[in-house]
Amino acid sequence: MGRGSVRCCPNTFRRSGISSTCVMRKTKMEQSKKKKCLIRFEPSGLKVEVPAGTVLLEAARKAGVYLTSVCGGDGYCGKCKVIIDEGQFQSRPTTLLTQDELREDVVLACQTKVLSDVTVTVPKFHTLETSQILMDSDAHRFSELAGDVRAGLFEFDPLVRKINVEMSAPTVHDHTADHERLYLGIREQIDAPIMQTGFRILQNLPQVLQDSDYKVTVTIGRRGETTEVIEVEKGDHHAKNYAVAVDLGTTTVVAHLMDLTNATTIDTEATYNSQINFGEDYIRRIIYAEENNAFDEMQNRIVHDVNNLIVTLAARQKIDLQDITTVICAGNTAMAHFLLNLDPRRIRREPYIASASFVPPIRAAEAGIQINKRGLLYCLPGVAAYIGSDIVAGVLTTRIYTKKGISLFADIGTNGEVVLGNRDWLVCASSSAGPAFEGSGVKHGMRAGAGAIEKLTIHGDGSVEYKTIGETHPVGICGSGLLDTLAGLFTNGIIDRNGQFQANGQSGVTEGEEGMQFRLVPAENGHHEVVITQADIDNLVRSKAGVFAAIRVLMDSTQTKLEDIETIYLAGGFGNFLNVRQAVTIGMLPDLEAEKIQFVGNTSIAGAKTVLLSREALRTAEQIATSMTYFDLMSHTGYMEEFVRASFLPHTDLSLFPSVKSTQEHKSTRA
Amino acid sequence: MGRGSVRCCPNTFRRSGISSTCVMRKTKMEQSKKKKCLIRFEPSGLKVEVPAGTVLLEAARKAGVYLTSVCGGDGYCGKCKVIIDEGQFQSRPTTLLTQDELREDVVLACQTKVLSDVTVTVPKFHTLETSQILMDSDAHRFSELAGDVRAGLFEFDPLVRKINVEMSAPTVHDHTADHERLYLGIREQIDAPIMQTGFRILQNLPQVLQDSDYKVTVTIGRRGETTEVIEVEKGDHHAKNYAVAVDLGTTTVVAHLMDLTNATTIDTEATYNSQINFGEDYIRRIIYAEENNAFDEMQNRIVHDVNNLIVTLAARQKIDLQDITTVICAGNTAMAHFLLNLDPRRIRREPYIASASFVPPIRAAEAGIQINKRGLLYCLPGVAAYIGSDIVAGVLTTRIYTKKGISLFADIGTNGEVVLGNRDWLVCASSSAGPAFEGSGVKHGMRAGAGAIEKLTIHGDGSVEYKTIGETHPVGICGSGLLDTLAGLFTNGIIDRNGQFQANGQSGVTEGEEGMQFRLVPAENGHHEVVITQADIDNLVRSKAGVFAAIRVLMDSTQTKLEDIETIYLAGGFGNFLNVRQAVTIGMLPDLEAEKIQFVGNTSIAGAKTVLLSREALRTAEQIATSMTYFDLMSHTGYMEEFVRASFLPHTDLSLFPSVKSTQEHKSTRA
């Protein structure tokens, strides 16, 4: 990594297992137990002072440096890798680092205590820029999905508006009081049969009206059927009304800055969810919060992330935070609970319930979100503990609730949420098969960021072609690359229908440290190799089986046949180079023609934006959330059977995958 | 008064006018400029420490002792009389104290500075017990007027309710989130299409539901068409739901404690409005607040009064303040503005407008009212700066808005507000003729309290029969007594139609210090005499002329003839022994048969109670307030002419008062 620091501790010593600890000596040698240590993180330059003995993962949290951590600090996921450039530290031995990594002074942050001032390099795969790419691509590629309002599908009627109200001043012939005069002025312009005014606004109103000669800008927000006067300002400021739509992802938080006067997206920004340090999936974060009574901390994290995004967008666009009147969020149920500090504990406990699926609009400041101090925070409605508002947003965005024919919507992330239905009915379920397709639980799995293989072809001779995000040297594999890998290994017979490597000595299959593996990219020029292991494949198969089993349960429950499904919409973090056909090949999605399967990107934020811009869309989202029938797979007797049947490539029942069957037969014949 | 203090300063010295100040020496003689003085008020025993030189009226304010003061401290009303028992003070000379009073060490509190520790006796006419009597009588006499709800005229549907909600706990087959489960439970019992929940309530909800096994008491409040979940408590407490209805009078604040579960009045209490020290009428208080930037202080006063009443009622009835969920107020527009600290300044300035006539429900705590911390404060809607919610309450209570025939409603207090109308139309106006009938501006005028002459007959020989409140020796005359006096003087020819004492040497008419006067009660046994002076009569005639002129303007504007009026309802502080016939005799009210004139007491609090108990009544009150057409008499060209015409007894145009005319003619004939 060429930072020229002195590295003196032989890696073999750390790997030996002889002692349980290893004291690394860098530039300073003195013993340090109680003293304060300054920890500097590169390349961000963020610093934090912590007591000697502090675990590096904890120091990173305090510094606001985001480190990936699937296991939440238990030392078994091996994701929180950082490089020690300088300083003393103490690391517990682990089998999760390769010899190469040990040579490069890579450590697991959760297993390393600092003993002196330390400088740490955070590898790129932890950093923000990676998701930036995906988010930007999304914004361009799927901009039309946010255009429901602009396309006239919903009436343009933002949840919060600023209107210029010019009233005539009172006279001896017109004694109407200020408050009622204002209401009359508002009602001349908008439909607002039920209105509310906060007490402080009411108290200030007379002065504002007199100072302005009864020419004011009124900010009005909709709370259900009630219209609230949020602010009354002197003069005409109605052209400055901005909002931020947020997709509260478990991994990534994406924010779009909107101009509410003309329904345009001005700018976009994303960041990693800084709760990641407490666990990569939200179940683990709930456990962490319970065990450490860290619900407040969990809220602070996500609120901090949202605030950072808002401030970044506002600063870049030179917009006053006071002119941001609205924040709207979509996300899974757990994230919504964390954001609002609503008790999330029963999400992970039978009978698996949410504290609230419909969260009323609140003052954004009440949740700690720093926009206009009386601005509103809206959360899209969800359905259940495992079907959040992101899924409702997906249904809204794909418009499957308007169609005569049956559609399938699937969001493959940490969970695989699926919705089946049409304009008459909607059913949904969530499979908890794990986040393998997000790169978690996969040796070289990673998020769709710089250096991630996002497209990959395995040829018959075992040679591999690939494309990485950012066109850099490959660092790992993201979701779409993993899908291609699994499909490639299967279609080329490198793994069998059980997902097991064939013992026939195919090219590229080697015996690695953890058993059989397939080398996708060889080590070269100091870059490590990229492989896929048997354990990785098992994880990926479990994930895809979970999704398909969930789809089968919904199809069976509604007596929907394969040919009844007109379109499959695939949402989520698969990235831009998803080969939807491969999703059929491995048996994740039903066997439909490729042209009937659409990758629709981040429908969560698209739906949030649509609702932000139209009360009618919010009402529609509420109707969708209310009308969706939720199947709890954990208590569903048929689910486990379907899961077992789906734990083959593509499935135990090949008749469900006629196109795959014919390819396989074709190959068999050819062979 | 028998308190045995040393009184050494000759009164003549104070009255001489030789020096502008008079140093009284009591038990202590040392000079005192900067030192602190302890002021003790008897009989309450309330104390306050103030710097030497503090004006006694100000010291009384600080001590929470209520002293009447019409002029607000300018030294010309002569109402803030107190007796110095002990201590040094400095008093400016005044002509407003009699020789007897000077002998008894009576001073005007606003014209007296304290120079040492001082003990002061506050005469009874300042004290609370007086209004207690009237308020209690009212409560009994007019209880049926608060019974609109109990009588079934309005549906029983209190603005704030507690309901016992027992939900089934979530199961694997019923995943409904806590928040939605609660809404379903509420909606099983009440009609609440539009609901809101505060963020803190929502955050606490999961714990409360789990702790209670989903059996809770929900407090719900109505904010217009929106139903708010105010509180959710473990267990069943629905039987403990109390409210306080308040009549915010300029002089007296009356509170009724209500049980919202069964629509009964549990207890009543009243106090003087402690703003009285800042001026007896609200215009003067607005001026005081403006000049001294004392709007906060003005709010604190009235809020303190309301809180005192609430605490007194709750303590007496052993009710927890947390179980009082609602406060509802009716009162004139200025009082409502003071209570909420809404800018009242334009009430007294052309074009005379209110900051708000319709005040939305607010959290009572926001105004400083100490009930359940999330309890609601409702204010009945008003019409204009000079037609407050007390008048709307009067229309609601008398039900003139439901009648085919035309009714006249008049509330004679500091202002004389009049409403004319029927089920099709309502017009209203307010005459600012002054509070003479409340005893202000009348030498021996006083409030309807202990010792007040409330009924009086003057016989042909000039002898007088009277009845005092509390059957005590007469101290002064209250409104009904003043009405009787004016009518008696007129019908007996002691004053002429111009209201002037006749110069024919009638019995009882004497030359007093301030000109001609009539002695109602002679001085005896140490009690001072009670007289009515020419100036008093002039004030009373102006007051009645203002009221009648207002009525004439409304009648003319609506082409209502005398015979069209079916009933006159007379509300306000006239007390229990009002002879309504006398109000016709002097030309205050139109010449209707006595049986068509009803005294209806405190319709302000009666209306507040009705609204408290029925959302339907609130909607009706809002409709009344909206539909009433307000006539601004100050900009009305015909009003002054009517006022001049009405400034005779009974009127310049005797044909308007046929019954009075015939009596007069009969007497003339007899004479």
Which of A337, A353, A392 would best serve as a mutation to test chain B binding (most B beta carbons within 10 A)? A353
Q: State the pLDDT at residue A99.
A: 79
Strand order in the sheet with B476-477: B464-468, B452-458, B476-477
**pLDDT > 70? residue B420:** yes
Q: Which comes out higher in pLDDT, residue B164 or A43? A: B164
Are the beta carbons of B206 and A355 separated by less than 8 Å? yes
What is the rounded average pLDDT of the residues B107-133? 76
| Contact call for residues B476 and B452 (beta carbons, < 8 A) | yes
Nearest to B207 among A343, A351, A634 (CB): A343
Nearest to A178 among B197, B199, B355 (CB): B355
Nearest to B353 among A175, A194, A385 (CB): A175
Q: State the pLDDT at residue A268.
A: 87
Q: How far is B396 from chain A (nearest CA, A)?
A: 21
- Nearest-angstrom CA–CA distance, B671 and B662: 14
| Contact call for residues A514 and A98 (beta carbons, < 8 A) | no
Are the beta carbons of A206 and B179 separated by less than 8 Å? no
Between chain A and chain B, how many beta carbons pairs sit less than 8 Å apart? Answer: 158
CA-nearest residue of chain B to A197?
A: B360
Structure tokens at A600: 């629709």
Considering only CA atoms, which of B415, B352, B406, B399 is closest in space to residue B550?
A: B415
Are the beta carbons of A179 and B630 separated by less than 8 Å? no
Q: How far is A243 from chain B (nearest CA, A)?
A: 21
Q: Which comes out higher in pLDDT, residue B265 or B621? A: B621
CA-nearest residue of chain B to A178?
A: B355
Considering only CA atoms, which of B32, B60, B46 is closest in space to residue B117?
A: B32
CA-nearest residue of chain B to A195?
A: B224
Q: State the pLDDT at residue A148.
A: 62
- Nearest-angstrom CA–CA distance, A335 and B490: 83
Are the beta carbons of A226 and B355 separated by less than 8 Å? no
Q: Are strands A376-379 and A324-331 parallel, antiparallel or unpaired?
A: parallel
Any residues with CB less than 8 A from the CB of B103 and at least 6 apart, and which? B11
Q: Which residues of B are less than 8 Å from A176 in CB distance? A: 353
Are the beta carbons of B356 and A194 separated by less than 8 Å? no
Are the beta carbons of A360 and B174 separated by less than 8 Å? no
Q: Which residues of A are less than 8 Å from B349 in CB distance? A: none
**pLDDT > 80? residue B572:** no
- The least confident of A639-643, B187-191, B573-577, B655-659 is B573-577
CA-nearest residue of chain B to A366?
A: B199
Q: State the pLDDT at residue A317.
A: 92
Which of A355, A358, A622 would best serve as a mutation to test chain B binding (most B beta carbons within 10 A)? A355
Considering only CA atoms, which of B615, B355, B361 is closest in space to residue A180?
A: B355
Considering only CA atoms, which of B464, B511, B512, B468 is closest in space to residue B487?
A: B464
Q: How far is B360 from chain A (nearest CA, A)?
A: 7
Q: Which residues of A are less than 8 Å from B629 in CB distance? A: none
- Nearest-angstrom CA–CA distance, B473 and B467: 9
Q: Which comes out higher in pLDDT, residue B599 or A79? A: B599
- The SS3 call for residue A526 is coil
Q: Given pLDDT bands bounded at 50, 70 and 90, which one contains residue B663?
A: confident
Are the beta carbons of B356 and A173 separated by less than 8 Å? no
- Nearest-angstrom CA–CA distance, A195 and B356: 14
CA distances from B232 to A634, B201, B261 (A): 31, 7, 17
Are the beta carbons of A356 and B226 separated by less than 8 Å? no
Q: Which residues of A are less than 8 Å from B341 in CB distance? A: 203
Q: Which residues of A are less than 8 Å from B173 in CB distance? A: 351, 635
C-alpha atoms less than 13 angstroms from C-alpha of A454 in its C-beta half-sphere: 20
Q: Which residues of B are less than 8 Å from A170 in CB distance? A: 346, 351, 353
Q: State the pLDDT at residue B528.
A: 87
- Nearest-angstrom CA–CA distance, B291 and B277: 15
Nearest to A180 among B171, B173, B357 (CB): B357
- Nearest-angstrom CA–CA distance, B540 and B562: 24
Is the N-terminal amide bond of A360 cis, ω within 30° of 0?
Answer: no
Q: Which residues of B are less than 8 Å from A195 in CB distance? A: 224
CA distances from B159 to A223, A408, A553, B365, B619 (A): 20, 47, 48, 17, 11
Nearest to B175 among A175, A179, A630 (CB): A630
Q: State the pLDDT at residue B27.
A: 40
Q: Which residues of B are less than 8 Å from A366 in CB distance? A: 199
Are the beta carbons of A343 and B171 separated by less than 8 Å? no
Report the 10 Å Cβ neighbour count for B423: 13
- The SS3 call for residue B462 is coil
Q: Which residues of A are less than 8 Å from B350 in CB distance? A: 172
Task: Give the mean pLDDT of chain B.
Answer: 86
The radius of gyration of chain B from alpha carbons, rounded to an integer in Å, stands at: 27
CA distances from B536 to A610, B412, B453, B504, B531 (A): 73, 17, 15, 20, 9
CA-nearest residue of chain A to B349?
A: A172
Are the beta carbons of A355 and B635 separated by less than 8 Å? no
Structure tokens at A197: 């005014």
- The least confident of A506-520, A606-620, B315-329, B360-374 is A506-520
Provide block-wise average pLDDT over 10 residues at a time, chain A (671 residues): 33 31 41 75 86 89 70 68 91 81 87 93 64 42 50 88 97 92 97 94 96 97 94 96 95 91 89 86 94 95 93 91 97 97 94 95 95 96 96 96 97 89 97 79 83 90 89 88 94 94 79 89 88 95 95 97 94 74 93 89 90 95 97 90 96 93 71 47
Q: Which residues of B are less than 8 Å from A358 in CB distance? A: 177, 179-180
Q: Which residues of A are less than 8 Å from B224 in CB distance? A: 194-196, 226
Q: State the pLDDT at residue B526.
A: 80
Are the beta carbons of B355 and A205 separated by less than 8 Å? yes
DSSP bridge partners of B38: B49
CA-nearest residue of chain A to B338?
A: A203
Over residues B77-89, the pLDDT tens digits come to: 677 889 999 999 9
Are the beta carbons of B363 and A199 separated by less than 8 Å? yes
Nearest to B226 among A194, A352, A367 (CB): A194
Report the 10 Å Cβ neighbour count for A245: 30
Which of A172, A187, A211, A630 would best serve as a mutation to test chain B binding (most B beta carbons within 10 A)? A172
Which of A230, A332, A343 would best serve as a mutation to test chain B binding (most B beta carbons within 10 A)? A343
Q: How far is B212 from chain A (nearest CA, A)?
A: 15
Are the beta carbons of A351 and B171 separated by less than 8 Å? yes
Q: Which residues of B are less than 8 Å from A174 in CB distance? A: 351
Are the beta carbons of A224 and B226 separated by less than 8 Å? yes
Q: How far is B432 from chain A (nearest CA, A)?
A: 16
- The SS3 call for residue A291 is helix
DSSP letters, B1-65, are --------S-HHHHHH-SSS--EE--S-----SSSEEEEEEETTTEEEEEETT-BHHHHHHHHT-
Q: State the pLDDT at residue B419.
A: 98
Are the beta carbons of A199 and B170 separated by less than 8 Å? no
Q: Given pLDDT bands bounded at 50, 70 and 90, which one contains residue B132?
A: very low
| Contact call for residues A419 and A532 (beta carbons, < 8 A) | no
What is the rounded average pLDDT of the residues B437-450? 82
Q: State the pLDDT at residue B11.
A: 34
Are the beta carbons of B354 and A178 separated by less than 8 Å? yes
pTM of the model as a whole? 0.80
pLDDT over 90 percentage in chain B: 62
Q: Which residues of A are less than 8 Å from B359 in CB distance? A: 179, 202
Residue B139 host element (H or E): helix B129-141
Query: Would you say how long chain B is, in residues?
Result: 671
Q: Which residues of B are less than 8 Å from A343 in CB distance? A: 203, 206-207
